[in-house]
Amino acid sequence: MSGNSIGKIFTVTTFGSSHGDALGAVIDGCPAGLELSAQDLQNELNKRRPGTSQITTSRNEKDQVKIVSGIFEGKTDGTPITALVYNADMDSTAYENIKNNPRPGHGDYTWKTRYGTYDYRGGGRGSGRVTIGHVIGGAVAKKLLKTLNIKVISHVTQVGKIKAKPVDIQKLETNIIQNTVRCADLEAAGKMEAEIIVSKEAGDSIGGIVETVVLNSPAGLGDPVFGKIDAELAGALMGIGSVKGVEIGLGFKSAELKGSQMNDEFLIENDTIKTRTNHSGGILGGITTGMPINIRMAVKPTPSISLKQKTVDTNSMEPTEILIQGRHDPCICPRITPVAEATVSMVLVDQLIRAGYIDPCKL
Amino acid sequence: MSGNSIGKIFTVTTFGSSHGDALGAVIDGCPAGLELSAQDLQNELNKRRPGTSQITTSRNEKDQVKIVSGIFEGKTDGTPITALVYNADMDSTAYENIKNNPRPGHGDYTWKTRYGTYDYRGGGRGSGRVTIGHVIGGAVAKKLLKTLNIKVISHVTQVGKIKAKPVDIQKLETNIIQNTVRCADLEAAGKMEAEIIVSKEAGDSIGGIVETVVLNSPAGLGDPVFGKIDAELAGALMGIGSVKGVEIGLGFKSAELKGSQMNDEFLIENDTIKTRTNHSGGILGGITTGMPINIRMAVKPTPSISLKQKTVDTNSMEPTEILIQGRHDPCICPRITPVAEATVSMVLVDQLIRAGYIDPCKL
Amino acid sequence: MSGNSIGKIFTVTTFGSSHGDALGAVIDGCPAGLELSAQDLQNELNKRRPGTSQITTSRNEKDQVKIVSGIFEGKTDGTPITALVYNADMDSTAYENIKNNPRPGHGDYTWKTRYGTYDYRGGGRGSGRVTIGHVIGGAVAKKLLKTLNIKVISHVTQVGKIKAKPVDIQKLETNIIQNTVRCADLEAAGKMEAEIIVSKEAGDSIGGIVETVVLNSPAGLGDPVFGKIDAELAGALMGIGSVKGVEIGLGFKSAELKGSQMNDEFLIENDTIKTRTNHSGGILGGITTGMPINIRMAVKPTPSISLKQKTVDTNSMEPTEILIQGRHDPCICPRITPVAEATVSMVLVDQLIRAGYIDPCKL
Amino acid sequence: MSGNSIGKIFTVTTFGSSHGDALGAVIDGCPAGLELSAQDLQNELNKRRPGTSQITTSRNEKDQVKIVSGIFEGKTDGTPITALVYNADMDSTAYENIKNNPRPGHGDYTWKTRYGTYDYRGGGRGSGRVTIGHVIGGAVAKKLLKTLNIKVISHVTQVGKIKAKPVDIQKLETNIIQNTVRCADLEAAGKMEAEIIVSKEAGDSIGGIVETVVLNSPAGLGDPVFGKIDAELAGALMGIGSVKGVEIGLGFKSAELKGSQMNDEFLIENDTIKTRTNHSGGILGGITTGMPINIRMAVKPTPSISLKQKTVDTNSMEPTEILIQGRHDPCICPRITPVAEATVSMVLVDQLIRAGYIDPCKL
């Protein structure tokens, strides 16, 4: 399995680049019998679609998805599901004159070093548009999770120095759809939007934190020693462009604590073993406890900014300056939320099949 | 590949548990022609060996390693290298009376949920002793890295609330061997040791942060989109017991920054493209830049503490209390340092082979 | 990696079914810098295209291929190559009335048992049309092999009881294009064509043997113990629909021989170690010797015949009879030749990368 | 996953060589709760043990196995099972003077080409002794198969030109244990033994055919398109040393047949869908039908013979002659029978888990 596939049994292979013909995914290992339509995929893709508000890039892509294989009479039939989104609103001219000048904070230089070539147009396959593949795979995964009543919700908890207050887990979904920044603390949401606009107007960008929560996951998911569910989740999320850190439960805060503060005591509630607190974030020994899983990602500020930056010319090997044009999100966090949901969903489904919770052949 | 293997081409499979007969690893995919002796493995194992100072567990294991396959005339011959460490100083009695009482913060409950059974003696395969397998695999990886002059160094940067000051990267190695806590800031090291002893004497434990640095890594390592080197490193490190967070470069700090603050400008130094700063931690677009890689792990306080804790009895399904005896490290950070080095080394070697830097068959 | 992918590093994932929208493949792990056009794929697809002679099915598919990702400025760029063929000449009516009557010799019954559902139209993904994916993947592999001057040639050596005489390996290519049955012994070719037409006119079908030869393979390919090159080739070829046996070198004949007859003696020719005979078929100990590789596949007669056959009704669970209409090849051998070439080429390229003969990142 | 592992979920990694310290296997992915003792492994190993009759090698190895991990209170606990056999009766002197003269028919030359080095003592990891790993993995698999009442039986059907008559499938087991050649046709068995002794006394060796039969396999096993069960079985069996051909059902005979002769008609028996004949060997479309699976392997004559053979000296690059001493089986077929059973069993269990017939975590 080369680098563009994720999952051992529920395997999603993605393809495509920013300014190529199409982007998409092949989902292999989905059991037969799941109702699935292009609309299911479209609903998720619409959540990450650009051009929908003032705080996202002005590139206007409909991101219309088409399924070309794997569905028979409205249901999955056990064969690979392939879905495509054709690129439409491409403008490569902005990239032509910087093709030998690697953009700071981007993968231009490293991709070219590795492959000896680089599709510089819009970042090629290093672009955020590749997450269309994640979202397609995640949309199928989410439909499978729904059969088990498992929910995966992402929200923005920090933008720059503005931090959201904790919000009751049951209110997350209803709150985040009320603002473009997808923050569940509505008061903070307003400040975040303002902060993003300020950054944008200064030609700059801003970082933030995204949290993903999983509700109703059964206990017992995770395949130690190297396939632990926290390992797989962290790996998958760190692989999303711009993510520089991942933490689970109390995360980095746990470094400061005593064991007596950190440990979650066990108790019995409705004949089920639970933990009183959930400092572990729903995972102990790499296996789920049945408590909510929560993961936070540190998202760096968008590397594409409209300010002059120093770089080099890889042909002449001389220093030079670069002024990036193109169209970009001033803060990636809101648009990472559906991608994080998709990514977590794919990992979960793969683990659910590997643990026997989902039949690998048919529902 | 099931859950106890790591690596696609350089594949390490580990086995064994705390109170079973033996622990060990099979290393498959190591090119032939590498000089390798049991002593090479022993040197690394000695770094994680327990019972060596006041701040580690009093379990006294020699952890003598034996290689039983894969070496011919002092060199690897391309066939799987198998190495074993037999358990010696086992005392299972401390665990007998708590076998139905899952220890808070441990994997007892989740492992039993998953497998229907659990080797409760010393944590079974959930024990920190399984990292013997990591260290064996990592020792072979390190010898391969040495042929490319790549160095992997781990050090403790925080214990509880005591934070080390930044230390010049060239001084890390010489400084950390001067103290049992493996902190490069010698002044902080003393305070950390004191803090650990205080926690231990209170029957409690304490968390911390471990940083791993990679020097002299070539640019071009990393296999996008799902095999990015930061994704694989983060996944592998999060899988080490007690790690609750992983960050690369500026990590969570980048959430607060503007793009103009975060981006690393490119420059030319000795005909090589470098970055002026290294906020990205040596990785852009999931591929190494050639700058030092740096990763930090949040390590939770050891869950085994000597204070009474609330738990449940899984037989009677009644609440109960537990007092853990056994022998434990009051702070896991120092002993995680060699494990983190090993883990990073295994990931690096696998990526180096996948990128063509190491011949897959023979040196 | 689920069931629709082949290859560890050069990984080809195929999708699509007989009467779905499209068939195709994603090729992941192809190094950057390879010149590749849709025409390269089309040339190979044309060799397996139906409707081209009296002895193939009358289904008339243009099988026009389109590449939608992975190519930049006429060359591969290291990202996944995706190519699609849309189905055009579909006629599902012939299948409607037999959808609960599994066709003898086909996978209808077994697929339905496994997945609980089955796209009965044209055999769904059990159809021979899925080999479009093989051929696309193989076409990319062949272009890589060409850079190493490695040739893969398939020809038909038997149809029914008519056996071709051995033909000099250098004449294979020029001879097989002179007849529709792709047999290098031109005299036998005529008899085979006649035999196929006789079978067709009788409403029946006929089996045969296809041989694939690899020229100029380097010595040293093969990844023992479970990734031996003969193991991977045999597995991949047995997976082609209708193949019921695979043999290498002297194959089943070796069962009758003495060691003194079977063993290939070594000799030196132009400073290179070779074997005087090549009974081993170019593979010893699971690793190539550098001599030509030769493999033969037993191909069963097409299961779709126009004669009445006994089967069952899976709804009523009563015996019934079936008369298959649709359009079918009376002998699959000629059309398996490009598929076998493609399959062998994919396996070879994966092994060549794994053995360091092809750089995994860039040419 | 590198070359020494087999299986995606039930993954067996083997290690060790002919004259190294130990051989063995790690079995990862075995569900917890299976009763398993060293004796279970020993029973299978005894079937392939050398030195037990006049027609096997005189190397006398007890092949005493020891389990060092994965068992808790007499049952598997879900963690990797590791078992070792230490080499005892090694005599490397016979190999010293031929270390630069590759033995015809052996992997000496190809292994050395690939790895640049070669453990020439007894064939190193190219030796038949590596199948100890197969048998250990297979013994665990067989115990799992037993829980589903699935049986895997291998027998010798041909030695040189002596062919066994078909024997009722129910009598296979009782008949083969009555003779050292493991042939179910007792009359042929006697002739085979004589033939083997004649070959041995002439300093030569002889080939043969081994058949493996699977009884009571459920319908629905096999993971199309590239993970078909016939593909996986053929690949795994072709990887056993000395196997040069694999066929399923009618195999190569099907090349001569018409579709009307080959197709297996469906019928209903005891409310179950079966086929009247079983020409397909229990597999259609790469998925099991529920009928017995039968596979035959062509086994070449042992390459080690006591006659002078021509070879080359790889140091001087001059032709030379070789006279192999050491101790060898004059016919490998009898000792391949337990290896083929083991190999088929491992593939089956992996497929059973992947198809949901065996719970991946616990029995």
* pLDDT, tens digit (0-9, with 9 covering 90-100), for D167-206: 999 999 999 999 999 999 999 999 999 999 999 999 999 9
- φ/ψ of C224, rounded to 5, equals -60, 160
> Both tokens of residue C34?
């390879």
Task: Summarize the confidence of residues A49-53 as an average pLDDT.
Answer: 70
Buried residues in C107-133 as b, exposed as e (16+ CB within 10 A)? bbbbbbbbbbbbbbbbbbbbbbbbbbb
Residue A95 has pLDDT above 90, yes or no: no
B22-28: strand order across its sheet: B5-6, B11-15, B22-28, B81-86, B65-69
Residue with tokens 């088990």: A148
Q: What CA–CA distance (Å, rounded) separates C72 from C59?
A: 35
Percentage of chain B beyond pLDDT 70 is 98
Residue B46 has pLDDT above 90, yes or no: yes
Say which of A107, A273, A286 has its CB closest to residue B284: A107
Say what the ipTM of the complex is.
0.97
pLDDT band for position D94 (50/70/90)?
Answer: confident
Of the residues A2, A5, A8, A9, the best mutation for testing chain D's interface (the one with the most D CB atoms within 10 Å of its CB) is A9
Instruction: Output the 3-class SS for D230-284.
Output: HHHHHHHHHCCCCEEEEEECCHHHHHHCEHHHHCCCEEEECCEEEECCCCCCCEE
pLDDT band for position B221 (50/70/90)?
Answer: very high
Residue D53 has pLDDT above 90, yes or no: no
CB-based contact D319 C268, cutoff 8 Å: yes
Adjacent-strand bridge partners of C291 = none
CA distances in angstroms from A229 to A154, A222, A263, A356, listed in the order given: 18, 4, 19, 15
pLDDT band for position B326 (50/70/90)?
Answer: low
> Residue B58 has what pLDDT?
67
Cβ atoms C77, A117 nearer than 8 A: yes
Q: What CA–CA distance (Å, rounded) separates D288 from C297?
A: 20
Residues of B in contact with A303 (CB under 8 A): 259, 262-263
Shortest distance between the Cα of D15 and any Cα of chain B, in A, equals 5
Q: What CA–CA distance (Å, rounded) separates D215 from D149?
A: 8
Residue A121 has pLDDT above 90, yes or no: no
A5-6: strand order across its sheet: A5-6, A11-15, A22-28, A81-86, A65-69
Say which of C224, C263, C319 has its CB closest to residue D267: C319
pLDDT band for position B121 (50/70/90)?
Answer: confident
Answer with the residue of higher pLDDT: C345 or D88.
C345
> Residue B51 has what pLDDT?
61
Residue D51 has pLDDT above 90, yes or no: no
Residue C323 has pLDDT above 70, yes or no: yes
Residues of A in contact with B319 (CB under 8 A): 267-268
> Both tokens of residue D14?
């083997």
Adjacent-strand bridge partners of D294 = D213
How many Cβ contacts (< 8 angstroms) between chains A and B?
Answer: 383
> Residue D98 has what pLDDT?
80
Total length of chain D: 363
Q: What CA–CA distance (Å, rounded) separates C284 from D19?
A: 20
Residue C209 has pLDDT above 90, yes or no: yes
pTM: 0.98
State pLDDT tens for residues C54-88.
Answer: 777 666 778 999 999 999 999 999 999 999 999 98
pLDDT band for position D328 (50/70/90)?
Answer: confident
Residue D55 has pLDDT above 80, yes or no: no
Classified as helix, coil or strand, B316 is coil
Q: What CA–CA distance (Å, rounded) separates A143 from A139?
A: 6
Residue A56 has pLDDT above 80, yes or no: no
Residue A266 has pLDDT above 90, yes or no: yes
Say which of B2, B69, B84 has its CB closest to residue D28: B2
Residues of B in contact with A233 (CB under 8 A): 238
State pLDDT tens for residues D196-211.
Answer: 999 999 999 999 999 9
Q: How is residue B269 annotated by DSSP? A: E
Which range among C57-71, C175-189, D144-158 shows the weakest confidence by mean pLDDT? C57-71
Answer with the residue of higher pLDDT: A72 or B121.
A72
Answer with the residue of higher pLDDT: D280 or B95.
D280
pLDDT band for position A52 (50/70/90)?
Answer: low
Angle at C181 between CA C178 and CA C184, to 5 degrees: 55
Q: What CA–CA distance (Å, rounded) separates D8 from D1?
A: 9
Residues of A in contact with B315 (CB under 8 A): none
Residues of C in contact with D104 (CB under 8 A): 263-266, 275
CB-based contact B20 D69, cutoff 8 Å: yes
CA distances in angstroms from C308 to C104, C325, D165, D263, listed in the order given: 11, 10, 33, 12
pLDDT band for position A267 (50/70/90)?
Answer: very high
CB-based contact A78 C20, cutoff 8 Å: no
State pLDDT tens for residues A74-84.
Answer: 999 999 999 99
Cβ atoms D2, C354 nearer than 8 A: no
Residues of C in contact with D260 (CB under 8 A): 204, 305, 307, 309
Residue D92 has pLDDT above 80, yes or no: no
Angle at C7 between CA C1 and CA C13, to 5 degrees: 60
Residue B52 has pLDDT above 70, yes or no: no
- φ/ψ of B75, rounded to 5, equals -130, 155
Q: What CA–CA distance (Å, rounded) separates B32 from C155?
A: 38
Q: End-to-end CA distance of chain C: give it in Å, rounded.
A: 26
CB-based contact D115 B8, cutoff 8 Å: no
Q: Minimal Cα distance from B118: which residue of D?
A: D77
Instruction: Output the 3-class SS for A72-84.
Output: ECCEECCCCEEEE
